[in-house]
C-alpha cells in the first residue's frame, strides 16, 4: 500500500530535504504536492485528498494548527514537523499525534510513517487529530489526554485523573470513576504532560492530582490521604515539593 503525501513548510529547503528523506528511506510514500503556506496547502489537500500530511507548525500568517482547523474534515494522517516549541509539542503529545523535531531523524521518520501506515491500513477514525482540535479550543478543565494502552488509545479529561502509579516502563492511571488504565509509557512522561494541570510527584512511583488530596498524614513515614480513601506515600526527598504543591 502506497500513501500519497503533501509536505507543508514555509522554508523551501526543508521541503526539499524532507522530500529526499522520504524518497530514500520511505519508499511507500509518494509526495504528490508541496506547499509553502497554509492557504496553498488547503487547496492542495482538498484537491489531492492525501493519506499523509507532513505539516510545519510555525508558519507566517496561518500556522499548522490554523490549517487543520480550517479544513472541513481531516482524513489524512498528520505528522507535525517543527523546531522546538514547548507549547506546540505539549499540544500534540496530549493528543497522541506524531511529531518530528527538525532536523528530522531518519529512524524517527520511518517510525512515524510506519504508525501512519498502520492507521491507514486499519482505516481507524482520526481520533488523535479530533482530540487535538478539541484541546486547542478548550479550557484547562476540558483538556483530554491520550492514554495509550496495549489495546487502545483512550482520551480522558485531565480533571478525571486521580493519580498515576509507575510500574517499570508502564504507568497505571487511576480514573475518578474507579477505572484503571495501564499505559505503555513511563510515569515521567505523564509528569511532564500533567505538571501544568495540578499534578505533582510525591514519590518516585506516584503522581497525584492535588485536587483530590484530603490530607497529608505525617505518621507511618508520611502519606497523602485522597478523597477516595486511597493512601499514597510521600518520599523524604519530595516533602518540600509536596508542601509547595499544597501551599503549606
Residue 132 has pLDDT above 90, yes or no: no
* pLDDT for the residue numbered 61: 87
Do 149 and 217 fall into the same domain?
yes
Do 35 and 81 fall into the same domain?
yes
Is omega for the bond preceding 105 within 30 degrees of 0, making it cis?
A: no
* pLDDT for the residue numbered 99: 85
Instruction: Report DSSP letters for 164-212, one per residue.
Output: EEEETTEEEEEETTS-EEEESS-HHHHHHHHGGGTEEEEETTEEEEGGG
* pLDDT for the residue numbered 129: 67
Any idea which residue has 514519590 for its cell? 203
**CATH code at position 30:** 3.40.50.2300
Do 177 and 211 fall into the same domain?
yes
CA 58 to chain centre: 17
Residues 92, 81 contacting (CB under 8 angstroms): no
What is the count of structural domains for the chain?
2
Do 241 and 184 fall into the same domain?
yes
- The grid cell for 248 is 503549606
25 membership: H or E segment, kind and range: helix 12-25
Do 13 and 123 fall into the same domain?
yes
Do 8 and 126 fall into the same domain?
yes
Residue 124 has pLDDT above 60, yes or no: no
Residue-level length of the chain:
248
The 10s digit of each residue's pLDDT in 143-170 is 788 888 888 888 888 899 999 999 888 9
111 membership: H or E segment, kind and range: helix 106-122
DSSP bridge partners of 166: 171
- As a whole-number percent, the residues of the chain with pLDDT over 70 amount to 86
The 10s digit of each residue's pLDDT in 195-244 is 888 999 999 999 999 999 999 998 777 899 999 999 999 998 998 888 88
For the whole prediction, is pTM greater than 0.75?
Answer: no
* Domain span at 186: 142-246
Q: What is the Cα–Cα distance from 68 to 63, expressed in whole angstroms?
A: 9
* pLDDT for the residue numbered 82: 87
Closest residue by Cα to residue 165 from 195, 196, 133, 191: 191
Q: End of a domain among 74, 104, 135?
A: 135
Mean pLDDT of all residues in 71-87: 80
Residue 133 has pLDDT above 60, yes or no: yes
Residues 32, 4 contacting (CB under 8 angstroms): yes
Q: How confident is the model at residue 130 (pLDDT cuts 50, 70, 90)?
A: low
* pLDDT for the residue numbered 120: 77
Q: Could you tell me which residue, 110 or 76, shows the higher pLDDT?
A: 110
Do 15 and 114 fall into the same domain?
yes
Residue 125 has pLDDT above 60, yes or no: no
Amino acid at each position: 500500500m502506497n500513501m500519497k503525501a503533501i509536505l507543508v513548510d514555509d522554508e523551501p529547503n526543508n521541503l526539499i530535504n524532507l522530500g529526499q528523506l522520504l524518497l530514500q528511506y520511505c519508499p511507500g510514500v509518494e509526495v504528490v504536492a508541496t506547499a509553502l503556506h497554509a492557504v496553498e496547502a488547503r487547496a492542495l489537500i482538498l484537491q489531492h485528498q492525501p493519506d499523509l500530511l507532513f505539516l510545519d507548525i510555525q508558519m507566517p500568517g496561518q500556522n499548522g494548527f490554523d490549517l487543520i482547523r480550517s479544513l472541513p474534515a481531516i482524513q489524512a494522517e498528520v505528522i507535525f514537523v517543527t523546531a522546538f516549541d514547548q507549547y506546540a509539542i505539549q499540544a500534540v503529545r496530549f493528543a497522541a499525534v506524531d511529531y518530528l523535531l527538525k532536523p528530522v531523524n531518519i529512524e524517527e521518520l520511518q517510525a512515524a510513517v510506519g504508525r501512519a501506515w498502520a492507521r491507514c491500513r486499519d482505516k481507524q477514525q482520526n481520533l488523535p487529530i479530533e482530540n487535538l482540535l478539541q484541546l486547542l479550543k478548550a479550557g484547562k478543565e476540558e483538556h483530554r489526554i491520550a492514554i495509550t494502552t496495549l489495546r487502545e488509545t483512550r482520551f480522558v479529561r485531565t480533571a478525571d485523573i486521580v493519580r498515576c502509579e509507575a510500574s517499570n516502563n508502564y504507568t497505571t492511571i487511576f480514573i475518578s470513576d474507579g477505572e484503571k488504565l495501564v499505559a505503555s509509557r513511563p510515569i515521567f512522561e505523564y509528569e511532564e504532560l500533567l505538571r501544568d494541570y495540578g499534578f505533582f510527584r510525591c514519590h518516585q512511583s506516584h503522581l497525584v492530582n492535588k485536587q483530590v488530596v484530603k490530607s497529608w498524614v505525617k505518621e507511618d513515614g508520611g502519606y497523602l490521604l485522597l478523597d477516595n480513601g486511597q493512601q499514597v506515600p510521600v518520599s523524604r526527598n519530595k516533602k518540600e515539593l509536596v508542601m509547595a504543591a499544597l501551599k503549606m
